[in-house]
Amino acid sequence: MTARDDAGTPQLTEGAVDAVLASLSPEERASLLDGSDFWHTQGLPERGVPAVMVTDGPHGLRKQPADGDHLGLGGSVPATCFPPAAGLASSWDVDLLERVGTALGEECRAEGVAVLLGPGVNMKRTPLCGRNFEYFSEDPVLAGDLAAALVRGVQSQGVGTSLKHFAANNQETHRMSVSAEVDERTLREVYLTAFERVVRDARPWTVMCSYNRINGTYASQDPWLLTDVLRGEWGFEGLVVSDWGAVDDRPRGVAAGLDLEMPSSSGASQAKVLAAVREGRLSQDDVDRAARRVLELVARSQPGLADPRPYDASAHHALAREAAQRSAVLLKNEPVSSQGGDPLLPLDPAAWPEGGTVAVVGEMARTPRYQGAGSSQVVPTKLDDALTALREGLPGTRVRFAAGYPLEGSPSAGASAADLADEAVDAARAADVVLLFLGLPGSYESEGFDREHLDLPSEQLALLDALLEASDSVVVVLSNGSAVRLHPWAERVPALLEGWLLGQAGGAAVADLLLGVVSPSGRLAETLPQRLEDTPAFGAGFPGEGGVVRYGEGVFIGYRWYDSRKVPVSFPFGHGLTYASFLYEELDVEVTGSGAGAGLRVAVRVTNTGRCTAAEVVQVYVADPEAAVARPDAELRAFARVELEPGRSQTVAFELDARALSYWSPVQRRWVVEGGAFEVRVGASSRDVRLREVVQVDGEDLTPPVAVDAEISTWLDHPVAGPALRSVLGRSGGGFLGMLDDPGHGAMFRAIPLVRMARFPGFPATEAELEAIADRANTPA
Ligand code: BGC
């Protein structure tokens, strides 16, 4: 039953799980449901069950020494720090995410890690969420497809992933107790969709439940979430692990489908589980099911753990640089106002006299901000900074550096902001171009708390003002994990590169982009709003009151909100420039199938009409202008990144299934395709639609059943009940019919539940008669 590796460590095989489980005592089974320390499952060596290590994640490995803490205060082994999700998501590049995932899997394997704790696919409901840097997007299709690719990559190496934080963990304020009050349609269409896509497409080995409550129930003990939806509907077969410390009532959690508690409760939960079984509050079957999943996870990870392979750190650094190149988003690139001509970027040293002078301003050029803080913090194998990379990339140019502002944890910390700004202005005056690195200091955003505003630090904004006075050739490069306010200053800078957080090779990648070694190709995975007041959850919607946060904006998050309400934004979802330009032609949309099997086939031809190789991200949005529920202006349904040489074209084709047309019906409690006109929009952002086509979709029969307490309008709209009711009401002079059809008051009467009107004096039918009509109408023909 038990295989042993060379070192004599017991090795559990998948085929041996049944027999091992059967050999365990109830106490041993219950012990498996708990970790053994911060990072390991419980081993039972005498039964042939090794302990395995699970660890953060997600954009690099954070393997701590055995006695480490869990929030990153202690050190961890060096590992490649790829761009965090906010950066990676801006690549819109599924292949890249899979390659990054593969590299992460290789590093886990080299370090003997069974499961990498990520990716996190929670929606960016508000730009203030302290953990947005770790999340992909405000759109579930983008987040889901990118995360699925990352999961495929990691798991291709025989290492598991943990899809987190399931679910509706969209803020850090009171994250361990707050109840997210969300209607089911919103949950299904927005907050669960990314999880669903990853589970269905990439089969993560584990899912991590979130800390918060959803509509009053802790995610860690919510049977609807952890069992009915996750397993019953989506077919998840892996293990559910708690977020670290997310367990409230352990026996309830076991019954609900929470298999593994982490970190270890030091035996306390085991005792509670055993007591609950003894007292009949929890079944032994539930315990065995969870224990089996732990054993299956351990067994699944054994082949990888038994065969650790070193990884190539310099190849991974190169991949981190490519990932960073693809993650930065060129928001704006215009000619310098006084001169006209070409856009300011890429930099062209040949155009400057004697190689020119570049002022690199901003401490973040020298001391990069490249990842977020908290449990995901990685110790990088190497760290590039933009200043060094620019010096190397501009050999014949004088590069003058000025810190510009003080930054915590850097050589400029503690210096006077005014002195640093004066020095920077001097440098700018003497330069052909100013490269200004601004961003959020590390203490502004982290796991564990939310931001209070969207602004850059005031000393940075003052510096920006001063530099815009001193030079008209200012390029701003931003480092921030979540959206910052760019309004109104972005209007005054000719070029603006949103670098997000770009990982350990971000500095070199930024230099590559500024110098035109590669063309920028990132696109915004989140809208950049003009003002905090414009954001969907602003006010009572965030961070909630009295332990409750109401998602009152419903499905209208991110661009679904801004675009539906026509709110001006700084830069829309999906936006990003390159050093080339693209032409969209020949949109072809075909409806495939009908009813619940309807879909769309979309094809469009894209041509690079620019002068350099660059990548376009073709985005397909679907609008459903008329529906029984309020739908967003349009929703992203598919996307593809295509890299083209100048003059080259490619036809990009997409297959959209029924889900792309559906909404979650709160009445039927399922996805429905309501027929009618749909508009397919293809373009380069949610607001840069290049081609559109309206198609007619033959939907499902959504006629609701009638009941005597349904409103009269429901009856009148029903093909069988409507005529039958009219004929009944036509009796005794038809006074009631006249009321319902009255142009002035009819609407008011039609909104009355039929059974109520049936009690009015003189109503020409009995309740029993109406019930008989309803029965007939609801019986399928
Ligand atoms: C975080 C998780 C993380 C875990 C382990 C928790 O506080 O929410 O994302 O994986 O700690 O460090």
Overall size of the chain counted in residues: 781
- What residue's CA is closest to ligand 1, atom 8? 243
| CB of 163 shorter than 6 A to ligand 1 | no
pLDDT of residue 3: 47
Distance from C-alpha of 230 to C-alpha of 195, rounded to nearest angstrom: 9
Cβ partners under 8 Å of residue 692, min gap 6: 587, 679, 680, 681, 682
Q: Is the peptide bond before 263 cis (omega within 30 degrees of 0)?
A: yes
Pocket test for ligand 1, best of 55, 61, 69, 117 (most atoms within 8 A of CB): 117
Please give the span between the terminal C-alpha atoms of the chain, in angstroms, as a whole number.
59
Distance from C-alpha of 42 to C-alpha of 216, rounded to nearest angstrom: 31
Distance from C-alpha of 682 to C-alpha of 719, rounded to nearest angstrom: 38
| Helix or strand holding residue 242 (H, E) | strand 239-242
Question: For 471-498, how does the pLDDT look when each residue is reduced to its tens digit (9 = 90+)?
Answer: 999 999 999 999 999 999 999 999 999 9
- What residue's CA is closest to ligand 1, atom 4? 244
| CB of 56 shorter than 6 A to ligand 1 | yes
pLDDT of residue 2: 45
Return the ligand 1 atom nearest residue 134 CA: 9
- What residue's CA is closest to ligand 1, atom 3? 375
CB-CB contact of 376 with 84 (8 Å): yes
pLDDT of residue 734: 78
Return the ligand 1 atom nearest residue 71 CA: 12
Q: 435 C-alpha vs ligand 1 centroid, how far in Å?
A: 36
Q: 72 C-alpha vs ligand 1 centroid, how far in Å?
A: 10
Q: 575 C-alpha vs ligand 1 centroid, how far in Å?
A: 31
Distance from C-alpha of 461 to C-alpha of 414, rounded to nearest angstrom: 18
Taking each helix axis from N to C terminus, what angle separates 268-278 and 284-306, rounded to the nearest 10 degrees? 140
Cβ partners under 8 Å of residue 85, min gap 6: 58, 59, 119, 120, 133, 134, 135, 136
Distance from C-alpha of 55 to C-alpha of 260, rounded to nearest angstrom: 14
Q: What is the DSSP letter of 232?
A: I
Helix, strand, or coil (residue 208): strand
| CB of 244 shorter than 6 A to ligand 1 | yes
Give the 3-state secondary structure of 609-649. Answer: CCCCCEEEEEEEEEECCCCCCCCCCCEEEEEEEEEECCCCE
CB-CB contact of 391 with 399 (8 Å): yes
- On the 0-12 / 13-18 / 19+ scale of CB atoms within 10 A, 571 is buried
| CB of 210 shorter than 6 A to ligand 1 | no
Pocket test for ligand 1, best of 243, 371, 377, 449 (most atoms within 8 A of CB): 243
Q: Which of 494, 53, 87 is nearest to 321 (CA)?
A: 87
Tokens of 178: 């707050």
Q: Which of 58, 114, 62, 49 is nearest to 86 (CA)?
A: 58
Q: 162 C-alpha vs ligand 1 centroid, how far in Å?
A: 11
Question: Beta-carbon neighbour count of residue 656 at 10 Å?
Answer: 20
- What residue's CA is closest to ligand 1, atom 2? 243
Q: Where are the alpha helices (DSSP H) in 547-621?
A: 559-565
| CB of 117 shorter than 6 A to ligand 1 | yes
Strand order in the sheet with 635-644: 635-644, 614-623, 676-685, 688-697
Give the 3-state secondary structure of 450-462. Answer: CCCCCCCCHHHHH
Q: Which of 468, 413, 460 is nearest to 439 (CA)?
A: 460
Residue 243 annotated to the active site: yes
pLDDT of residue 68: 61
| CB of 243 shorter than 6 A to ligand 1 | yes
- What residue's CA is closest to ligand 1, atom 7? 244
Q: 375 C-alpha vs ligand 1 centroid, how far in Å?
A: 5
The residue type found at 776 is R
Q: 179 C-alpha vs ligand 1 centroid, how far in Å?
A: 19
| CB of 172 shorter than 6 A to ligand 1 | no
pLDDT of residue 380: 96
| CB of 70 shorter than 6 A to ligand 1 | yes
Helix, strand, or coil (residue 775): helix
Taking the mean position of all CA atoms in its chain, how far away is CA 105?
21
Cβ partners under 8 Å of residue 537, min gap 6: 125, 126, 551, 553, 557
Q: 224 C-alpha vs ligand 1 centroid, how far in Å?
A: 23
Return the ligand 1 atom nearest residue 263 CA: 5
Q: Considering the entire predicted model, what is its pTM?
A: 0.96
- What residue's CA is closest to ligand 1, atom 6? 244
Distance from C-alpha of 326 to C-alpha of 90, rounded to nearest angstrom: 8
Return the ligand 1 atom nearest residue 211 CA: 8
Report CA-CA distances (Å) from 706 to 225, 445, 529, 716, 764: 31, 52, 45, 10, 19
Cβ partners under 8 Å of residue 342, min gap 6: 335, 348
Return the ligand 1 atom nearest residue 72 CA: 12
Question: For 520-576, how does the pLDDT look when each residue is reduced to its tens digit (9 = 90+)?
Answer: 999 999 999 999 999 999 998 999 999 999 999 999 999 999 999 999 999 999 999
pLDDT of residue 70: 61
Q: Which of 638, 665, 656 is nearest to 697 (CA)?
A: 656
Q: 277 C-alpha vs ligand 1 centroid, how far in Å?
A: 29
Cβ partners under 8 Å of residue 503, min gap 6: 59, 60, 80, 81, 82, 83, 84, 87, 320, 323, 324, 370, 371, 380
- Of the residues 93, 222, 243, 450, only one is catalytic, namely 243
Q: 180 C-alpha vs ligand 1 centroid, how far in Å?
A: 19
Return the ligand 1 atom nearest residue 210 CA: 8
Q: Where are the alpha helices (DSSP H) in 607-766?
A: 712-717, 721-729, 735-741, 746-750, 754-758
Give pLDDT < 70 ranges for the chain.
1-10, 66-74, 337-339
Q: Which of 375, 353, 347 is nearest to 162 (CA)?
A: 375
Return the ligand 1 atom nearest residue 448 CA: 7
| CB of 164 shorter than 6 A to ligand 1 | yes
- In the Cβ-directed half-sphere of 17, how many Cα atoms lie within 13 Å? 18
pLDDT of residue 450: 96
Q: 130 C-alpha vs ligand 1 centroid, how far in Å?
A: 14
- What residue's CA is closest to ligand 1, atom 9? 375
| Helix or strand holding residue 442 (H, E) | none
| CB of 31 shorter than 6 A to ligand 1 | no
Pocket test for ligand 1, best of 59, 70, 161, 177 (most atoms within 8 A of CB): 70
Strand pairing class (3-4; 115-116) = unpaired
What phi and psi, each to the nearest 5 degrees, are found at residue 734?
Answer: 70, 25
Pocket test for ligand 1, best of 38, 53, 55, 56 (most atoms within 8 A of CB): 56
| CB of 736 shorter than 6 A to ligand 1 | no
Distance from C-alpha of 160 to C-alpha of 53, rounded to nearest angstrom: 11
CB-CB contact of 169 with 210 (8 Å): yes
